[in-house]
Structure 1
């Protein structure tokens, strides 16, 4: 007690330590309140890309779900984890997004941006039946949309890259182009930048042995796009304009379906559907080697009602999300397989969509952190 007042004596903490080492470790709910402390903290939590990257690295609570297209539009499937933060995305905003438009493809979702393939009737008076088809980037948080001209290549080979901690204020679309050159494949890349608002062909090309490019199997991790081209994973770095490929995990029997993914820590994963509805999961080590994480036996014994089990990209923890299909009942559901207990839990039945379409993983918390960051588009 000094002069009738309590005084706390201690070393002052550097501002950078508070901003980038202490605050990023707090739950998003607490940070939402701290934004009212001062303008600097408001900017830090809402707009600072370095802060967003540090927060995502320190294990903030995870709330996520999947988005998919169906005959009437777009559906969200929330995955609620008891005891953890569950940020929700209002589906009502998509009514204005699809006003007068038809969604023909849910292509990609990265850090709060959703890439769609849309159609609308042409404005040309001479041909009222003409249809315009174009890409459309939608920001979940700001509810802003951007029209991107369609290129001439299959839209399911297009990926979306947006990481404000690496490429500030800019997103890019990348298309994988395939041409046969004898017994080999020549792979090249066409890139659209929101800064230039143009498609440009990269000078980088790959010549690899004949491969099979899987429809829909594209994935973005940071600044790098991946395509599963059995038996390879082809990658393209949009910042360095560098491309390459690596072998996928090798097994004696190749399964009919293979999906790439990544954990919340950015570790590349590989999941393959094996004969008899078995599945195997690998993760990539720091040395670039594939390490087998799990082997799941015949899943038909878990749920005999369904004939086909399609793995979704593995995103970590002990859960694998699976689409289960019943051809006899024209039914498809999203389910979760607990690799520890071997229990299969049905999360939701898919509405208005047959045959199966592409699912996209969305991290609600990451969307809340990064989705409001500015992007360049005129």
Structure 2
């Protein structure tokens, strides 16, 4: 192909193949193999591939396709987990980078797993590891290495432990003396060489902790002014920028802001939950549990409603709903599921990427 077409056009053609066909085309000739193995090709493939969401459902991992004609989870969307499903902790934490997942298992175990190639690796325990330790997973462009980060709390300090796949070992790095903050959730958000978590000392003293994967330095950033006292908030990514989502329970409103390069926040969406709830469901007390942007900048929203006034134990005490909000058309579409939605957890975005597996799975 390279003798007939310029490399740029070859990339555009190959980047539109499925992962299964791409694996076959790697074996055609050395030229194609080298082209497909380039990081630039992997990034182009990621950019044009549809995004999906990983969910934990029916004691297994599923992929939710939100960019198809009819968004939903089907039985065909279940991922072939590489280990026995009994290893999966129902409170599992899943992180994603370049088509590879980092998954927490029972017994404080971490594994990295590529669902497309079926490769997986169990990481050694870094030492004092608990279910409350925050986690991050990302790619360090400077060292050309993928890294897993966790902070281990001790009596007088919190120490960053960094797993480097090139060495296959944990490296003790940043030490924060006498930390007195906690974290909104364990999962760190990876954007442009940095991992981010929401941290807090109290409901009125909240900030963003940033960790640089290359220099192993940390910084603290302010949250949007209007979200300082907001307990229901979490971080995400839209258009390659860090975004902050908050849910105001009293006003039943979802607000999303994007961080600009200057560090300032720009509010981009304000969405009333009443637009998603039908009239017959207004008696239920709904709470937002998951909000995330898709690659098309639409919004995936999952919420659960509770109703305490039911008199019989046989009746439903809670109901869950998932909607896709089309930001351009400002319309809502309910997401379909193959069976009961009860207990479903959305764990983050997933994009298939022909990542160079020998950087991780060696």
Shorter-chain TM-score: what band?
Answer: 0.7 to 0.9
Once the 2 structures are TM-superposed, how far is the Cα of residue 27 of structure 1 from its aligned partner?
7.0
Residues 179 and 377 (structure 1 numbering): CA distance in 2 closer, same or farther, change over 3 Å? same
State the Cα deviation string for residues 32-70 of structure 1 (Å, max 9, x = none). Answer: 68868742133212x1113323555xx52x412211224
Q: Is the 8 A contact 1:226 1:235 kept in 2?
A: yes
Which secondary structure state, in structure 1, belongs to the residue aligned with residue 189 of structure 2? strand
Distance 1:369 1:333 in 2: 33
Q: Is the 8 A contact 2:50 2:295 kept in 1?
A: no
Matched, 1:242 2:212: no
Once the 2 structures are TM-superposed, how far is the Cα of residue 302 of structure 1 from its aligned partner?
2.6
| 1:101 counterpart (82, 87, 103) | 87
Structure 2 spans left out of the alignment, 5+ residues: 201-205, 308-315
Matched, 1:346 2:334: yes
Distance 2:320 2:142 in 1: 38
Distance 1:341 1:98 in 2: 43
How many corresponding residue pairs?
Answer: 330
Larger Cα Rg: Structure 1 or Structure 2? 1
Once the 2 structures are TM-superposed, how far is the Cα of residue 98 of structure 1 from its aligned partner?
2.4
Residues 134 and 41 (structure 1 numbering): CA distance in 2 closer, same or farther, change over 3 Å? same
Q: Is the 8 A contact 2:161 2:172 kept in 1?
A: yes
- Give the CA RMSD over aligned residues: 3.6
TM (normalized to structure 1)?
0.73
Matched, 1:152 2:128: yes
Which secondary structure state, in structure 2, belongs to the residue aligned with residue 53 of structure 1? helix
Once the 2 structures are TM-superposed, how far is the Cα of residue 229 of structure 1 from its aligned partner?
1.2
Which secondary structure state, in structure 2, belongs to the residue aligned with residue 241 of structure 1? coil
TM (normalized to structure 2)?
0.76
Which secondary structure state, in structure 2, belongs to the residue aligned with residue 152 of structure 1? coil
Which secondary structure state, in structure 2, belongs to the residue aligned with residue 43 of structure 1? helix
Q: Is the 8 A contact 1:283 1:291 kept in 2?
A: yes
Q: Is the 8 A contact 1:255 1:272 kept in 2?
A: yes
Once the 2 structures are TM-superposed, how far is the Cα of residue 343 of structure 1 from its aligned partner?
2.6
Q: Is the 8 A contact 2:288 2:301 kept in 1?
A: yes
- Aligned residue for 2:310? none
State the Cα deviation string for residues 283-305 of structure 1 (Å, max 9, x = none). Answer: 12222221111211x31243143
Once the 2 structures are TM-superposed, how far is the Cα of residue 72 of structure 1 from its aligned partner?
1.9
Distance 2:35 2:163 in 1: 29
